[in-house]
Amino acid sequence: MALACLAFGAAGALRAGDLQFPADGSAIALTLPDGWTSAEDKDGSLKCTSADGEFSFELFPSKILHDPKANLAEVAQSLAEAAGLAEVKTQDGGEKANPHGTKITGIIVIGRKGDDAYAGVVSIITPSAGDFCAFQCFGTKSTLLVHSKEMARITASFRAVK
């Protein structure tokens, strides 16, 4: 999960299944569930959208984050502000490794917009080989809950490109 606040001009949609990111395959491979789509932006970012169109996450190449640890906190804060959230709280999401040895380090953002509770995550994804990339998704807590199992499968699929 992570926040999405950047405008996204899709260059073309791709099918679900196995993907390499960025397009040159220098960071990670991942697997999207059936029905999900992905679209690459001109800056090399990739937006992946659920089959129902209600949820998405974005991946950003390492060139966008020069100092991942410093930028991660800045990005999380700017996402909350751009989303117009009130009562914003951030917390360290820690670092975990998935079954492929890919490290995921994140910051959790929680806030409110009107009557709705929002949550998001901004993360750095570091595969066992290759370059890191950034990940973000954002949504109402209920939307995140609906897609939590799919997101768990997706993050478990992050792996080094062989």
Kindly report, residue by residue over 15-61, the tens digit of the pLDDT.
457 999 998 888 999 999 999 999 998 888 899 999 999 999 999 88
Residue 62 contacts residue 127 (beta carbons within 8 Å): no
pLDDT of the residue at 22: 92
Q: pLDDT tens digits for 85-129? A: 888 888 999 999 999 999 999 999 888 888 999 898 989 899 999
**Residues of the domain holding 62:** 10-160
Residue 5 domain-assigned?
A: no
pLDDT of the residue at 62: 82
Render 92-161 in DSSP notation, one character per residue: EEEEEE-TTS-EEEEEEEEEEETTEEEEEEEEEEE-SSS--EEEEEEEEHHHHHHTHHHHHHHHHH-EE-
CA atoms within 13 A on the CB side of 17: 3
What's 51's domain CATH number? 2.60.120
Residue 89 domain-assigned?
A: yes
Residue 96 is which amino acid?
Answer: K
**Terminal-residue alpha carbon distance, the chain:** 26
Residue 82 domain-assigned?
A: yes
Residue 15 domain-assigned?
A: yes
Q: Give phi and psi for 136, each to the nearest 5.
A: -150, 145
Residue 1 domain-assigned?
A: no
- Cα–Cα distance measured from residue 142 to residue 148, given in angstroms and rounded to the nearest whole number: 10
Question: How does DSSP classify residue 1?
Answer: -
Residue 4 domain-assigned?
A: no
Out of 74-78, 103-107, 130-134, the most confident range is: 103-107
Residue 150 domain-assigned?
A: yes
Which residues are paired to 105 by β-bridges? Answer: 95, 124
Domain count, the chain: 1
Name the more confident of 134 and 157.
157
Question: How does DSSP classify residue 62?
Answer: G
- Cα–Cα distance measured from residue 3 to residue 143, given in angstroms and rounded to the nearest whole number: 13
Answer whether 0.85 is exceeded by the pTM.
Answer: no
Residue 2 domain-assigned?
A: no
